[in-house]
Amino acid sequence: MPTFEGPVMADWPMPPGSSPEKYGQFIIASFDAVAAVACLEDEIASQAAAALPRSRFLGVVVGAGCLPMLNANGRHRLSVEVYLIGQGLPLEKDPAFSVPIAPAHTHPSNRVSPVLSTPLPWPNCYVHSLCNFLCLVSRIHYDPMRSPPFVLKKQRHEVMLQTMGDRNENIRRNLLMHDPPIPVPLTEGADADVSYYTDESEGSEDSPNEVDLKVAAVYAKTAKVQAFIEVWTDLSTCEDPATFANPKDFLPFIKQLDSISRDYETRMLARILSKPETASWVTAIAGTHVRDDTSSSAGEVPAAEGTDSGEQNGGSAARLEAHISVSPEPSQASISSRAQSVLDGRGVDERADDVHQKLDADAIITSPVRPGNQVSAVTSRSLLLRKRIKSVFDRVPSTPRRTVGLIRKSWTKTKAWATSRLRPTEPVLSSEG
């Protein structure tokens, strides 16, 4: 069976013949964590990702994903939107949050199965409405002599509308039950207070701030971490449908990917901040708070009487520096130990809190990752990048234009990534499949 490594959008296999359908194929997918963290170029992250199980899921590709990523040749990597399918009705939520797939036909709300090119080879299969994901594709195993079952475009749009309604209903029920705070995505107005430097506002003799460049590079790398899947289009490669993982089991992989990315970010920032040449930069970070509407409305806490502000800032830097331990280059044993600790979740949050306290006075939002396009911890931390980048501008007025351009480019990519996770998935009724 031919294998396409690193496929681009044009490599997606369409049904044979003159069919106008481009998507709608039923596939077997496996979460590829190693490909997801490859952009970090970090051995600990790669080992932690390789230790994750390679469970296989049954799903249907309803359309192209909106996860822009270019390969080395400047072409868009293949991204798809996958609705996961399970054996039987979902039991974690309302069983009605599902769509039967032929030959299955029973449903609590009497929903009918969409029209397929050929029925699935297994009975009792249902699309789980709360388990839809946008993924990049690391590789495709495709047999051009075999055409997988696919759902027609009109029926596919009907499935998308039904599942979108289920997700909205699930959110409504959660709000009525728990009444959690509703995250507010960034707007154009929210970015209005960020000042960007131009050639007119800087001197040509200014040199780049090395620390800012390194911090921006760390955030730029973590912003590239996306979910990757390996795809098989030949359903006959699975003899027993019982070997498919439950759709709800896909979510823990996303959480583990978040932990690996968070650990990498923590280690890299700690390494940057622990270097002697960054001492003055650390002092400025510790003594500067991001000033936004929230902090201004809450008021500022005055310094203690008789205490010099410089001494207070220096003391803060010293106390925060105590949280960051300077360690030599890790050995192979320590790399393996660290990778395992990331998967076990030991010490990652505590160490990350120390580093982020050093970078930002704001607390890190830790919203749980939930299916149905809820806000994840990755997204929540990404929304704080604007404040962090603004604080860099405020502290380093001599930052040259090319440095600001790098940081602004990093934030633009991260904002698009965060917004895509906040935006509810809606069907796109276009002329294409």
The one-letter code for the residue type at 152 is: L
For the cut 70, the answer to whether the pLDDT of residue 399 exceeds it is no
More confident residue, 186 or 144: 144
Find out whether 37 and 45 touch, Cβ atoms under 8 Å: yes
Helix (H, G, I), strand (E, B) or coil at 289: coil
**Given this model, what pLDDT does residue 172 score?**
92
For the cut 60, the answer to whether the pLDDT of residue 407 exceeds it is no
Reported as a single tens digit per residue, the pLDDT across 198-244 is 444 444 344 457 777 888 889 999 999 999 999 999 998 888 888 99
For the cut 70, the answer to whether the pLDDT of residue 131 exceeds it is yes
End-to-end CA distance of the chain: 25
Distance of alpha carbon 124 from alpha carbon 101, whole angstroms: 8
Distance of alpha carbon 166 from alpha carbon 161, whole angstroms: 9
**Given this model, what pLDDT does residue 185 score?**
61
For the cut 70, the answer to whether the pLDDT of residue 355 exceeds it is no
For the cut 70, the answer to whether the pLDDT of residue 328 exceeds it is no
Query: Quick one: what percent of the chain has pLDDT higher than 70?
Result: 55
**Given this model, what pLDDT does residue 128 score?**
96
Q: Which two tokens stand for residue 199?
A: 């050639």
**Given this model, what pLDDT does residue 181 score?**
60
**Given this model, what pLDDT does residue 84 score?**
96
Q: Indicate the burial class of 298 (C-beta count within 10 angstroms; 0-12, 13-18, 19 or more).
A: exposed
Other Cβ atoms within 10 Å of 49 Cβ, number: 26
**Given this model, what pLDDT does residue 127 score?**
95
Place of tokens 């409405």: 129
Reported as a single tens digit per residue, the pLDDT across 168-199 is 999 999 888 876 565 666 555 544 444 444 44
**Given this model, what pLDDT does residue 149 score?**
87
Residues contacting residue 141 through CB under 8 Å, at least 6 positions apart: 1, 2, 3, 230, 231, 232, 233, 234, 237
For the cut 50, the answer to whether the pLDDT of residue 304 exceeds it is no
Give, for 139, the enclosing helix (H) or strand (E): strand 125-141
Residue 261, CA distances (Å) to 6, 67, 227, 251, 390 in order: 21, 17, 12, 16, 23
**Given this model, what pLDDT does residue 177 score?**
83
Ordered DSSP codes for 353-384: HHHHHHH-SSPPP-PPP-TTT---HHHHHHHT
Q: What is the Cα gyration radius of the chain?
A: 24
Q: What mean pLDDT, rounded, does the chain reach?
A: 72
Q: Which two tokens stand for residue 255?
A: 């959480």
**Given this model, what pLDDT does residue 142 score?**
86
More confident residue, 20 or 25: 25
What residue segments make up the domains of the chain, in order of their start?
3-181+227-237, 211-226+245-292+313-422
Report whether the peptide linkage leading into residue 247 is cis, meaning its omega lies within 30 degrees of zero: no
Range in 77-81, 142-146, 188-192 with the lowest mean pLDDT: 188-192
What residues pair up with 81 in beta bridges, in sequence order?
63, 134
More confident residue, 418 or 113: 113
Range in 88-92, 278-282, 309-313 with the lowest mean pLDDT: 309-313
Choose the most confident range, by mean pLDDT, from 110-114, 149-153, 400-404.
110-114
More confident residue, 421 or 144: 144
**Given this model, what pLDDT does residue 372 score?**
38
For the cut 70, the answer to whether the pLDDT of residue 65 exceeds it is yes
More confident residue, 146 or 186: 146
Distance of alpha carbon 212 from alpha carbon 215, whole angstroms: 5
DSSP state letter for 337: H
